[in-house]
Amino acid sequence: VIFGAANFYHTSEIFEKTTQFSYLSEREREITFKTENGFYYRYYKILTSYNEKPFSSRLEKFFADNLTEYPSTIQPIKRFNVYPEVMLVLGSFYLVFEKMITSLNMTFKECWDVSRGPGFPPIQSCIGIQEPMYFYLNCIWFLAAITTVCIFLTGASLGSGLFGGLVAVVCFFFNHGESTRVQTYPPLRESFGFPFFMMHHLCITKVLQSQQVTWQQLLALSSLTAAFLLSWQFGQFVVLVQIYVIFFLHVMHLISFNQSLCLALAICKHIVDLLKMKLGRGSDFSSLLYLSQAEFQSLPSLTVAGYSSTLLLPSVIVAVTFCILHFLRSLFIQRQKQRAETSSQSDVSSHVPHVYHVIMLGAFAVMAGVFMRLKLFLTPQMCIVTSLLASRRHIPIKQTSMHAGLLALLLAGMAVQGVSNLKKQYDVSPCGGLAETEELLNWIDQIQPEGAFAGNMNIMASILLSTERPIVNHPQFEDEGVRNRTMAVYRIFSRQPAMKVYQVLHELQVSFIVIINQSVEVLGGIWDILEPRILNWTPLYELLVSGNPHPFKRVFQNEVYTVIQMPLKAIEFRPPRSYKA
């Protein structure tokens, strides 16, 4: 509980330091939820906003929404992993809490006026759990605390006591920046899904340690698996890895059929394309767009160096080595005595949880090596496996005092760089770009007539969240239809003729195109790979940002964004042909 409370405070303070959240207006706070963060938060905002519409009317937007993929009408509850936002309200959370404190004439928020300098009007900023946005964030910090508790309990289970849990959770804090992104991007699906995964992980450990599977364990596993899969679209991939590991343990006769069946019962195309691209066997638009983002690139050597500087990597190597050697020794003894009545089967079976976590560590290492984003699985798993160093059965040191002294010395060595890492997380500058984004959103509020917006995925969610204007593409990129829409919209970054791009966008009923100026070269490079035959043509985005190529018209521009207007109709005038006499 103490470590959970510490992580609750740690993540919330880093987020406050990074964003200056308590001094921002509501619109500025929404702007801090960049890319898909704002996309998910919008559904929470729909349910918690007190307007003229009744609650049932607000709930209908989860089943019929024509703003998110205009002009199509979709079912968000079916298409997106917005169950956490729904459950935060429908599960007797915010709305019940708000009604309760209102009936008791209580208040849990504090407000003050904030002057924002020349050019911007003063605003009133409120903090406290009674504020819908703060309630949302505090639920996320609470889930982050649960993650820490699960790491401690799993480490204690593997490390044969509280010292094992202490080693695991200290490693987690010393490598916090490599373990999670919750303090930077709170609304991401991993902020909701990963705590359920850690509870699921802990439950599997307990099942593997027990001789019999109880219905309580089966119920817990089933519930946690369902919660994990509903919270995060990537969960199915991780659960598949777990099933493979459990199946391997069963094939090797390390667990019983009942255990493997229980875990299997409890326990997508673009992923394959990504892997092909990583192996150099494919180069489609979706894969190139994914790989242009840092989190989908390979694990950098700087991260590995960070693991070494905190002594996490050397500790894991030692722990895995001793675990494998001890397991092989027990397996050899069992086979020597397999005909005897006093077979050492139980001794080998007691190693199964450790073997499971070591294999999962290997799987997560491969996954993180391919896609850096998946290091959020690797780093906590490394911390958990390090807890094996606290187990007397795996470390050949007979004297308890010497073993404890070596562990204390190890933690002291980790603290040299670990404490510096923690301080570095607090030594951050507030994020920029809020003024330019607010200027863009204020301009959108004022324009007439209202039209559909398309453009960089990173800003589409903010436009939908803050202005409620329809958007054509969005950052929830897992659906094939959205990927096709985004590919069509991103033709503005290619070298194709302006009239051809206009016709494609006109079919999508786009009225305005929003371009992030700093992204044009990267996205243009993707099209250069896909269309090498027209490399000598002038990029369309250069003309859009600096001019008005027919039939497009530039209607807004600041240091960060450029907005292009699409005419309702356009006519292409071709030059007359000349004929020789």
- DSSP class per residue in 396-415: ----HHHHHHHHHHHHHHHH
The CA-to-CA distance between both ends of the chain, in Å, stands at 93
Instruction: Output the average pLDDT for the chain.
Output: 83
Helix, strand, coil content of the chain in percent (nearest 5): 65, 5, 30
- The residue ranges of the chain whose pLDDT is under 70 are 50-52, 87-92, 117, 119, 211, 250-283, 294, 337-350, 431-433, 569-581
| pLDDT value, residue 331 | 73
- What does the alpha-carbon distance between residue 535 and residue 361 come to, in Å, rounded to a whole number? 44
CA distances from 103 to 89, 91, 100, 136, 168 (A): 18, 19, 5, 21, 44
Residue 7's DSSP bridge partners are none
- What does the alpha-carbon distance between residue 350 and residue 303 come to, in Å, rounded to a whole number? 33
| pLDDT value, residue 429 | 73
| pLDDT value, residue 411 | 94
| pLDDT value, residue 270 | 45
pTM recorded for the entire structure = 0.87
Check: CB of residue 448 under 8 Å from CB of residue 522.
Answer: no
| pLDDT value, residue 268 | 47
Q: Determine if residue 566 is left, alpha or beta; phi over 0 gives left, psi from -120 to 50 gives alpha, anything else beta.
A: beta
- What does the alpha-carbon distance between residue 237 and residue 47 come to, in Å, rounded to a whole number? 30
| pLDDT value, residue 317 | 95
Closest by Cα among 289, 296, 297, 230 to 473: 289
Closest by Cα among 475, 415, 416, 465 to 445: 465
How distant is the alpha carbon of residue 277 from its chain centre? Answer: 21
User: What order do you get walking across the sheet with 453-455 strand by strand?
Assistant: 453-455, 512-516, 561-565, 553-557
| pLDDT value, residue 39 | 85
The token pair at 228 is 């994990």
Domains of the chain: 138-336+345-426 (no CATH), 434-565 (3.40.50.12610)
Residue linked to tokens 């050397």: 314
| pLDDT value, residue 137 | 93
